[in-house]
Chains A and B, each alone.
Chain A
């Protein structure tokens, strides 16, 4: 019996029906980004189902409480506009939950009726609904444009616009935008910068917010996340490093244009070379040298690769997820001499295929591969049926393909609903690269232990 028994091997062009999407919608990304500001309550301006779905999915992924408000539209608000609902919501939220910031994003409903968030926020200010010293951020996040990554990017922009100012005193700090990654990854991104002695402002920063400890008390706003006193200084930084073109570049370029803070857009630091580029960028932007500790961490990645190369070499992989994640992952797999042969992202974006092509053709031995932007996991599965692979890398929803086709799955990306660890252990940086390699090796070697005939079943690998 197969769970995806109706997926045929023969691939037919589809123009209207998406099946098993490799993306979701903007507001969830905006909600996640907003959680990365200390004392911030994300707010979903639309009917309450969106907010419920986004909170549920983030909760299932992080296994931690996700606080967010909703404007709770019913039919009336949908016809006459949601201004009254939002004004009421702002007042209630500041009174009951006492956040320092409310970060409002739109939904496809409020976006379609044309609610103007900055205008409503202004009105709230005029009506005295925003207490002294408190902030409202806004982001336009129509669900029918882009994907969850776009929403994350738009809220990063909302944060930059809401707190940044060109009249800020120069601080000598570096802004770092970590991209749509796990809280543990944000922590690791900060750790590398700190190891190099670089004063930085990382935002959004969900570490400690969506992976908070259990201490017997519930704090709706944990003592974690990017601090407001830091965020108001972002316009005075000496530069910005934006990780991930899709998730981070927009806000970085905005700060470049508006506050004259020069930016550098890099790939997310997954794997060896993307981390090299991040470390190198930090070194250049801050004018410091790289400490031996970092060389050592890097050396461990190269060491493990040299020790276990035989198990990586020419293994075929199918992977799906966010473009920012796939680009450095594909590069890392190629660096391990593996063969990423099927690559799907649901998030639209013109540059993706070109970047993948560059990575896939930079070595002497070209490999045929499939890539699709705006594709789905149904197509991915069909490709796998036509050309089987040794490994799957992607989110939880890949477990159905993994079971049907009997292929090991390394869970990576968003959402991961059925495994733990992603919140706590990074996959960015050199430590993250070690962990990715460990997971891939475990998958291959466990499979080998399961399948090997008795005569060749060996203790030593």
Chain B
């Protein structure tokens, strides 16, 4: 497993692929070969990449599970839901405050349960005799203690096996508690997000979004005041990213109805359907919500990206263009003009030290794409990138969706039947979309990561420990980006590693301010003295011989 620092950049992508899969048993090698593709640098010739398929048993994957995607990623950042994990203690414990989702309640007294971990802590008896009664009692106890606006229940693996019906319990307790307390409405809903569902976290995102769509969105018709109203989907406020985006939008005069689900509140989700536009950051985790809201309420959606200064400016302009208002467009330009000098100054100071360096990114279902923009602003090239839990459309673009084969694991995830809401479907928005589309404005599209990567670079789906080791050995990149599990193994090789799920200690990295933070952080990492200390002086020239004067 030892990795020597030898640069061999002359290898062709195919040679690299052979190196990565050389050690595998034949069946494993065949499958992995399809998950490793060389980029062609354009949309038309993007090769097909195998993704969203089962992890091979025994492979040290970077992936997590459905529960992690549902409770950890999507619902975790909402401060005013009491999230009860129904299961043994572990799952609840591990998803307790470990994702760095920041939140800022409006007042010091406001609801905020994010610092708490709630679990039914199932024991052997509950597994043998069923845990529904314990769950009911737990909901009652949570209600008595906190009187929250909402309680959500998350199923863990054994709950699915023993057949506890969390949805029936949720319905019953919602009815009972609302009957007992007519002055305080409480919403209670469950998620069948057992860890074994699907092949990665992605299944959990889907399950989470379906239930939020079913039980929450549309509950309140009272709109937020504002002229230009949008939702931000797929932004989780890691390290304060959403705060930066909120600030930018506010200064432009754009009203953010809700963010799914960074710095979020359930009340904002309830009226999300009153927005005029949905903007998507992380396509993978949430494109379903945008799709369903368009069908039901007529709200069009666009893909945005607030990672990188250029992309942030582009996204702001695209939002302004949608509303088509001169006043808004001017304000957007003004805000960009206010922000850019600091960005340019930071780049001017940092770029001489980062230009020409190389990076690899293996993270998430959009971060591996978005963060390449920041690296390219610094003059850094991304040699290889990939996602843990993406589907083909995240790599190749949405145009391949019709050709994606639905396998058994995906079929187990519920697809909602959605139809237009008879009273709330917004025909004006539909007409607006048509008019803008005629002018060439792009809706409902995401081109994917692969077309935007340079020719000869690699896209690798569901990278694992063995292949990461090999990549380091073959390329010795200047920086590697992945998650906590990968961090210290990479660093043991003398390669700095930046976490891009939770950002290590840093952030925010969104927007213009975030870009400056990121430039500084990467400069710190790739130019840190620490990497020059890895070899002791006596190991750098070990053959040295000398005659000592006492000999």
Contact = CB atoms under 8 A, between A and B. Distances in A.
Interface in B17-72: 23-25, 28, 54-68
B311 interface: no
Ranked nearest first, the 7 interchain pairs of A and B with the lowest CB-CB distance are: A49-B65, A25-B90, A89-B58, A92-B58, A65-B489, A16-B137, A53-B94
A69 interface: yes
Interface stretch (A4-12, A275-283, A300-308, A363-371): A4-12
Given A52-B65, A95-B23, A17 B89 contact: no
A17 B151 CA distance: 13
A180 interface: no
Given A46-B157, A64-B488, A88-B58, A20 B196 contact: no
B196 A73 contact: yes
B325 interface: no
B403 interface: no
A53 B137 contact: no
B157 to A, nearest CB: 4
A144 B346 CA distance: 52
Contacts of A168: none
B interface bracket (residues with beta carbon within 8 Å of A): 35 or more
Nearest to B127: A144
Contacts of A43: 58
A5 B109 contact: yes
A338 to B, nearest CB: 28
8 contacts: A19-B117, A24-B89, A47-B195, A53-B64, A57-B98, A72-B55, A77-B196, A107-B157
A96 B466 contact: yes
A396 B115 CA distance: 13
A260 B103 CA distance: 58
A92 B2 contact: no
Contacts of B109: 5
A334 B52 CA distance: 57
B90 A85 contact: no
A16 B138 contact: yes
A49 B68 contact: yes
Interface of B: 1-5, 23-25, 28, 54-68, 84, 87-98, 108-109, 111-113, 115-124, 126-127, 134-138, 140-142, 144-146, 156-158, 160-162, 194-199, 408-409, 412, 465-466, 469, 472, 483-494, 534-535
A215 B368 CA distance: 28
B157 A108 contact: yes
A12 B144 contact: yes
Interface residues of A, number: 87
Contacts of B126: 144
A59 B196 contact: no
A6 B144 CA distance: 12
A74 B198 contact: yes
A48 B124 contact: no
B94 A57 contact: yes
**Counting chain B CB atoms within 10 Å of each CB, which of A15, A49, A78 scores highest?**
A49
Given A18-B118, A74-B199, A144-B123, A85 B57 contact: yes
B60 A68 contact: yes
A147 B123 CA distance: 10
Contacts of B65: 47-50, 52
A74 B54 contact: yes
Contacts of A6: 111-113, 116, 145-146
Nearest to B413: A75
A145 B90 contact: no
A130 interface: no
Contacts of A47: 65, 157, 194-196
